[in-house]
Structure 1
Amino acid sequence: MKKIVSWFTVCACIVVTLVSLILTLPMSQENPEKLFLRDQQLQDFELYTKKIEEREIVVGLVKSQQSLLQNLELSDDLAAQLADVLSDQQVTIHSFRTFFGKMFSSTIDPLALSEKIEKIVGEAKLLPLLDQKHIAHLFVLVPNLTLRDKNSILQHIKTVYAKGPNPYFLSGPTVINQGLNEQSNQIKNRLFPLMFMLCFFLLWGMTGKMLPTLVIFVPSLMASGLSLLSIYLLFGSMNMINSVLPLFTFAINASLGLHLLFSLAYSENFNSMIKFKTTPICLMMGTTFIGLISLVVSDLAIIRQFALLAAGLTVLTSVTHLAFAWAFYALFPNTPRQARPLQLFNRWQGLLPPTRLTFWVLTLLTVIGTLAIPSIRLETEAAHYFNQEKHPVGQGIKEIGGTIFGNPNMDIILEKTSAPWSMADLEKIHQLENKLLSALGPHYKILSPNQFLLEANAISGVGRSLPSSLLSYPIILGQILGDTNASYYQDHLYRMTLMGPTLGTLEFTAFDKLVAQLLKAEEPWGPISYQLTGTSYNLKRSQLNLVSILALSFLSSLVVITLSAFFISLQRKIRPTLIFFAVNLFPLLTTCLFIKIFNLSFNIATVMTFSIALGLVVDGTFHLQHAHAHLPREQIWPSVKYPIWASTLVLTLSFAILAMNQFLPIREFALVLVMSIFLGMIFDLYFLDAAIRLFTPKGELKD
């Protein structure tokens, strides 16, 4: 009966692994604008979208070195082809003729037509959709399109543009999200399998036999599969936060498997080994679960989801790992229990003796790393994730940002509740816009009702001035903006969008402060209220706080884990509890020193690496403290420290593959993860031992 149950367990685990990996192959990654908004900011964003029917815009740019008339013909031809393949129920196509055609459509003489178009091109600074070097189209998407619809629209645009000989570029939130999705799929479908294969061969090289390799690798891979399947069933797609889960569970289970394998060398059988290891294993699962669950107090919904999933999967995958190992060793009791001797490992043992010098050197590195944290750059602009010289998305951002218009860095919403707008109100707003343009510099444009009307009047020959009559104001504006008019001008609402270069964190902070100061200087506004908002603006402000939120969440998780260890395993002793806290926190602070040295950044991906590293370091710390309390010192290296060293070697070399990717978050994620895991091992193997020797009375030290 036991053999039947064992075979069923092993086969079930293998089937679950294969099914979960196959089912989740088509799963994509989605990072909608609302994903990283805190609860309060999410409410503000929803209020903003109720006031403004926000329509996403994709900009298409085609380079073409021809005369204005030839480029106009090319623009019209491409617009006609695009209209044939795109549904007008989903997208509205705007070209040079759409905006300015009424001003030259009646002109027949080629020379006069060329002169008119040249004049329009010279005045059309807000929407430079045509010149002798390029043509451009604006694709205005209807609200609430699905990701599939948006991707279909982009594919149709690319197909039409690709038919011609000229290079083309696309930009916009949908383009960036599609780029993120493509990068994620490439990593999931190519780099992850390569990483898992390398991990398998490294384990095989360490153990020297196939059976012990399988008993570690299969349940670790199953943990990743279960993580992917959970995300797929619960959410249908991945995002930049929960995509960490498969790596997190794989790392935890690979470490657990190595501890089980090498502990068997000093046990009669699997059951006796489990009895001895029950305490550290349960503590690892329990405290990690408690620490992750503590993150549900976050005001970021995506962090709460990550906490619940990670906590549940830590326990689930650890239990399934133990079940698989029990069944495997029952079927193959002669599985080798000891790794082949490695000369490198034998040399490693004496690298850092557990002395006072080791303790204080590592402590000094921790202090320096802590001091380096404020100077580490914070990267919150998704546009900077793509290489602007090599990646199509990065190239599009660079070309279109320098030719058509830049990023919508902020929307300013003005509301007048007491009465409709008057021309005096609009003139005052015009003065404010001039001050903003003067303060922000030549790289900025303001898309607003006033600016559109000023440009339209300049092109028509009336002069760069506002209409004299309020009655003609909305009529002319409606002719210019068409179906997007209501999103910029209503009887009681006026919107201006500040378009400029993509901003880093420090640049955005200075920009935000400057605009706020200019608006405050114009007060009192009387019955007119204003709000700084916008999709890009809300996302940027939310991400400014995201890293600090994640850091606080990480620290709160570590504190909860430490308190749990204090009450459960450390017998409420202050000294070992402080050592436990330090050995789990210090390596991650030291990692910050190397983040600064290698000019890496804090971003959504790199901050999440600390959660993975914390899980591994806590796991090793529990095993080591349990070993120091119950094993002779000569058994600690081969039975406990060797698995920590081996798992670090396997995971760092495997994760290093991800560092070859050119996508900034993934490359930096891999580098920071490798450094934090490696430093976690250093502190577990050497700092912990040195701290125990330094702060434990000699009479209490175990020989």
Structure 2
Amino acid sequence: MSQPTPSLQSPTAWAVLLLQVLSTLAFAWFGARMPFDNRLDRFAVKDRDGEQRHQLFQKHFGHTDTALISLEFHRAPEQGAAAAEELFAPLRKVPGVARLITLVDVAALAGEDAPDNLPYPFPFWQPEAGRATALVLLDDAVLQDTVVAALYRECEALMREHPVQAVLAGEPVVNYHLNLGALEVKYRFFPLLIALALVLLGVMFRDLKVLAVTGLSIGSALAWTTGIMALLGERMNLVTTLIPALVFVLALAMQVHNLIAMAMTGSMDEGLRHKLRPNFLVTLTTSLGFASLTTSQVLPIVTMGRYMALGIWLVFLWSHLTHLGLSRLIGLAPRASAGTFWLRFADHGLYQRWLRIPAVMVLPFLIIAAAVWLVFRLPTESNGLNYFDADHPVRVQTAYLQNHVTGGSHVELLIPLPREEDENLLAHLAAIRAFERQLLTLDGVRHAFSLQQFIAVPLAVDDLALADLPAEDALAVVGAVEEQAATLGSLWRRDGWYRIQVLVDSLDRPAYLALGDAVKQAALDQGVQGALVQTGPLDRIVEVQAYLLSSLHTSMSLTVAAVLVILLLIFRLSAPLLALILPNIFPLGCAVVAMVVFDIPMSISTVMVFSIIFGIAVDDTVHLLHTYLSRGEADFRERWRQTLARDGAAVSLTTLVLTCGFAILLLSSFAPTRQFGLLMGVGMVSALVGDVLFLPFLLRWHRKKGE
């Protein structure tokens, strides 16, 4: 390719560049400030039973985010509970802490001279260990991460100023660290991935101009996509955090195809014209595939589908407009010599013999069939703690809490109560009390908070129980406790509902479902009247996980079907159906097999990798098919040989650069990030294998069949 003269005097090129740079900077400014939010509310499954149960709970009791703070004195003071209360005082003032319940709050129910051996519902104070624990209810109106970060700062201050060890745990704390894991990708690994990919690209082309043009093109697509998301009020989470990575992958692939085409044709304009149609086809099919995700009932998946459908069009836009601005101004003239490698590869005797052996096609079918069988048997990961390494602070803190105090998660139970004047109210409360006692014997259950647990505290001063009192006196005690500790009372009985908060160990989906069955059986055993409602964080996590895994097959089927229909219409049956299906499904099968080999469970993050792999596979296949069908050679061998010479370099270069780039993610301490990098590498390499080894066999078979 002859070196063009830079068009520094071109007003059109300067206008395009100025518009691109200014708009990119503006959108990048907004996109960089988009907050992260992994709260369960972001993953709500619309119109499902679990979400309806949660809405019922929210309507009557509001606060659902609960954390635990445990203070362990290095040397237990004589007045341990009082000393602990002084240390808890600044934590009560943290913005976003709605309530902080300690031993003092509960002991106040029994009066000032309450003995230490009362039946408190929770080990607020463990004198033998010098350990005090508080229940922290977070205000839903304040961003959860902000509150948890402030609590961490206060705990660190306490440890600096006093001889105590502070431990913070619970679902909000796990969510906080999930956000940190996502931020690690955004601020550490993703920039490294981009930098490494661009450096490799620059080295391969041996041209800094290529690096500048590619960087600006990809940066514009990324900035516009994330900036528009931020302007429309979106927030990043474990699902939508994949959007920048996917935009980067698709933008790099499209730009590499453009650069190779320019090098092969010897002209910027000719190369862009040659790639305009296949790039448009890739954009159309990919956007339709992602648009199918908007049929989901999980908001983050809908968000991902919506903005990726937009993002791929922005990739298409800037992959071409950048060459009308910066490329013309600097006189871009990419050079590529990889075409000769692919000519030699196509002529190699082993490759030619491979294409003549029908039995080789058994391999992709076996892998795909095995993947279909395995995908329904892969373990699922519904416990967010397992996203972290065993020595990660959040797992260490949760293990400390579960070993010494209580469970690290909780379940909410709601039981309908009769009216105050109903003569059966006390009998109903007695049945619930027996139910609570049985609850505490179930596997995984550690403690329970409820109104009757608190009522038992003042009654125990006189060695009484609610059932020992006449009906009128019993109702008076219930009212007195609620009036004396309004904050406690309103938390546990409201609007005709009786609430029990059950503190449990961190459970996976099977253990949680087993607990749910045991809870229902306990309610039946004790004659609890009314329909018991079970909800809480674990309930919602399990439902979201189940829905995501069940909808994976539906969403992927819709995506694949939509893309294949479009491809069939575009290529007008010039290509065999198997040539459109097999090379694009084969990488998905390889990814499933890799999950089995490397013991990677199904989770929210791994589910979304399949969409990315499929997008890359379709990209490569469309470019190869377009070039193959547009060539006029009568001989299949020569036709495919020239196809590889023209597009093999772009496909292999994209695979190499991105695989090396995503390998950086294997260094992360966050399991979903490592798994994402590994599966992306497997998917990209297998997509190349499918296109180079299996696609030509199918095209050859189709040609012979036609003859």
- Tell me, yes or no, whether TM beats 0.5: yes
Partners of 1:378 and 1:616 lie apart in 2 by 25
**Which residue of 1 is the match for residue 72 of structure 2?**
63
1:495 aligns with 2:499: yes
**Which residue of 2 is the match for residue 425 of structure 1?**
428
CA contact (8 A) 1:62 1:168 kept: yes
**Which of 376, 379, 396 is the equivalent residue of 2:381?**
379
Q: Once the two structures are superposed, what CA deviation does each residue of 1:78-110 show, in whole Å capped at 9, x if it has no partner?
A: 023445x536x8533332223225658448xxx
Matches within 5 A, 1:189-200: 189-200=187-198
**Which residue of 2 is the match for residue 507 of structure 1?**
511
**Which residue of 1 is the match for residue 155 of structure 2?**
158
Q: Once the two structures are superposed, what CA deviation does each residue of 1:175-217 show, in whole Å capped at 9, x if it has no partner?
A: 2232223233232122222111111111122212222233333
- What is the SS of the residue equivalent to 2:376? helix
Seen in structure 2, the aligned counterparts of structure 1 residues 517 and 70 have a Cα distance that, compared at 3 Å, is closer
Letter in 1 for 2:179: N
**Which residue of 2 is the match for residue 110 of structure 1?**
none
Letter in 1 for 2:256: L
**Which residue of 2 is the match for residue 113 of structure 1?**
none
Root mean square deviation of aligned Cα: 3.1
1:685 aligns with 2:659: no
**Which residue of 1 is the match for residue 416 of structure 2?**
415
CA contact (8 A) 2:260 2:336 kept: yes
Partners of 2:571 and 2:342 lie apart in 1 by 34
Seen in structure 2, the aligned counterparts of structure 1 residues 165 and 20 have a Cα distance that, compared at 3 Å, is farther
Task: Tell me how far 1:169 sits from its aligned partner.
Answer: 1.1
Matches within 5 A, 1:143-154: 143-147=140-144, 150-151=147-148, 153-154=150-151
Q: Once the two structures are superposed, what CA deviation does each residue of 1:621-645 show, in whole Å capped at 9, x if it has no partner?
A: 1111112212332222232122111
Q: Could you tell me which runs of 5 or more consecutive residues in structure 1 were left unpaired when the two chains were aligned.
A: 108-115
CA contact (8 A) 1:370 1:593 kept: no
Task: Tell me how far 1:455 sits from its aligned partner.
Answer: 5.6
**Which of 136, 139, 145 is the equivalent residue of 2:136?**
139
Matches within 5 A, 1:74-153: 74-83=83-92, 85-86=93-94, 90-100=97-107, 105-106=112-113, 116-117=115-116, 119-120=117-118, 123-124=119-120, 126-133=122-129, 134-147=131-144, 150-151=147-148, 153=150
Task: Tell me how far 1:521 sits from its aligned partner.
Answer: 6.5
**Which residue of 2 is the match for residue 390 of structure 1?**
392
- What is the SS of the residue equivalent to 1:411? strand
Q: Once the two structures are superposed, what CA deviation does each residue of 1:301-325 show, in whole Å capped at 9, x if it has no partner?
A: 3322221211011112211211112
Task: Tell me how far 1:552 sits from its aligned partner.
Answer: 1.9
CA contact (8 A) 2:446 2:504 kept: yes
**Which residue of 1 is the match for residue 678 of structure 2?**
671
Letter in 2 for 1:588: L
1:437 aligns with 2:440: yes
Partners of 2:508 and 2:347 lie apart in 1 by 44
**Which residue of 1 is the match for residue 54 of structure 2?**
45
Q: Once the two structures are superposed, what CA deviation does each residue of 1:343-368 show, in whole Å capped at 9, x if it has no partner?
A: 89977996864443432222222222
Task: Tell me how far 1:340 sits from its aligned partner.
Answer: 6.4
Letter in 1 for 2:426: M
Letter in 1 for 2:395: G
- What is the SS of the residue equivalent to 2:142? coil
Partners of 1:646 and 1:398 lie apart in 2 by 46
CA contact (8 A) 1:583 1:684 kept: yes
Partners of 1:160 and 1:622 lie apart in 2 by 59
Q: Once the two structures are superposed, what CA deviation does each residue of 1:648-687 show, in whole Å capped at 9, x if it has no partner?
A: 1111111121221111222222222222222222212222
Identity of aligned residues (%): 20
Q: Could you tell me which runs of 5 or more consecutive residues in structure 2 were left unpaired when the two chains were aligned.
A: 1-6, 632-638
Q: Once the two structures are superposed, what CA deviation does each residue of 1:207-235 show, in whole Å capped at 9, x if it has no partner?
A: 12222233333212322222221222122
- What is the SS of the residue equivalent to 2:241? helix
CA contact (8 A) 2:74 2:164 kept: no
- What is the SS of the residue equivalent to 1:92? strand
Matches within 5 A, 1:144-543: 144-147=141-144, 150-151=147-148, 153-155=150-152, 157-163=154-160, 164-235=162-233, 237-333=235-331, 335-339=333-337, 353-354=354-355, 355-391=357-393, 393-416=394-417, 420=422, 422-438=425-441, 440-441=442-443, 443-454=445-456, 457-458=459-460, 460=461, 462=463, 466=467, 468=469, 469=471, 470-475=474-479, 477-478=481-482, 482-490=486-494, 492-519=496-523, 528-543=530-545
Partners of 2:62 and 2:389 lie apart in 1 by 32
Partners of 2:171 and 2:346 lie apart in 1 by 49
Partners of 2:292 and 2:140 lie apart in 1 by 37
**Which of 640, 643, 649 is the equivalent residue of 2:650?**
643
CA contact (8 A) 2:416 2:498 kept: yes
- What is the SS of the residue equivalent to 1:669? helix
Task: Tell me how far 1:273 sits from its aligned partner.
Answer: 2.7
Partners of 1:162 and 1:607 lie apart in 2 by 41
Partners of 2:444 and 2:195 lie apart in 1 by 52
Partners of 2:108 and 2:623 lie apart in 1 by 75
**Which residue of 2 is the match for residue 614 of structure 1?**
614
1:10 aligns with 2:12: no
CA contact (8 A) 2:261 2:274 kept: no
CA contact (8 A) 2:512 2:538 kept: no
Task: Tell me how far 1:156 sits from its aligned partner.
Answer: 5.1
- What is the SS of the residue equivalent to 1:91? strand
Task: Tell me how far 1:559 sits from its aligned partner.
Answer: 0.7
Seen in structure 2, the aligned counterparts of structure 1 residues 423 and 555 have a Cα distance that, compared at 3 Å, is same
CA contact (8 A) 2:346 2:644 kept: no
Seen in structure 2, the aligned counterparts of structure 1 residues 8 and 346 have a Cα distance that, compared at 3 Å, is farther
Q: Once the two structures are superposed, what CA deviation does each residue of 1:480-530 show, in whole Å capped at 9, x if it has no partner?
A: 86413223224722122232111112222322333345546677x66x232
TM-score with structure 1 setting the length: 0.88
CA contact (8 A) 1:224 1:246 kept: yes
Seen in structure 2, the aligned counterparts of structure 1 residues 455 and 640 have a Cα distance that, compared at 3 Å, is farther
Deviates more, 1:28-37 or 1:295-304: 295-304
Task: Tell me how far 1:542 sits from its aligned partner.
Answer: 2.3
Task: Tell me how far 1:127 sits from its aligned partner.
Answer: 3.5
Task: Tell me how far 1:18 sits from its aligned partner.
Answer: 4.1
Letter in 1 for 2:80: N
Deviates more, 1:464-473 or 1:604-613: 464-473
Seen in structure 2, the aligned counterparts of structure 1 residues 282 and 490 have a Cα distance that, compared at 3 Å, is closer
Partners of 2:94 and 2:247 lie apart in 1 by 43
Task: Tell me how far 1:689 sits from its aligned partner.
Answer: 1.7
**Which residue of 1 is the match for residue 667 of structure 2?**
660
- What is the SS of the residue equivalent to 1:135? strand
**Which residue of 1 is the match for residue 81 of structure 2?**
72
CA contact (8 A) 2:455 2:478 kept: no
For these two proteins, the number of residue pairs brought into alignment is 680
**Which residue of 1 is the match for residue 588 of structure 2?**
588
Partners of 2:101 and 2:562 lie apart in 1 by 56
Letter in 2 for 1:425: H
Seen in structure 2, the aligned counterparts of structure 1 residues 255 and 558 have a Cα distance that, compared at 3 Å, is same
Partners of 2:219 and 2:238 lie apart in 1 by 21
TM-score with structure 2 setting the length: 0.88
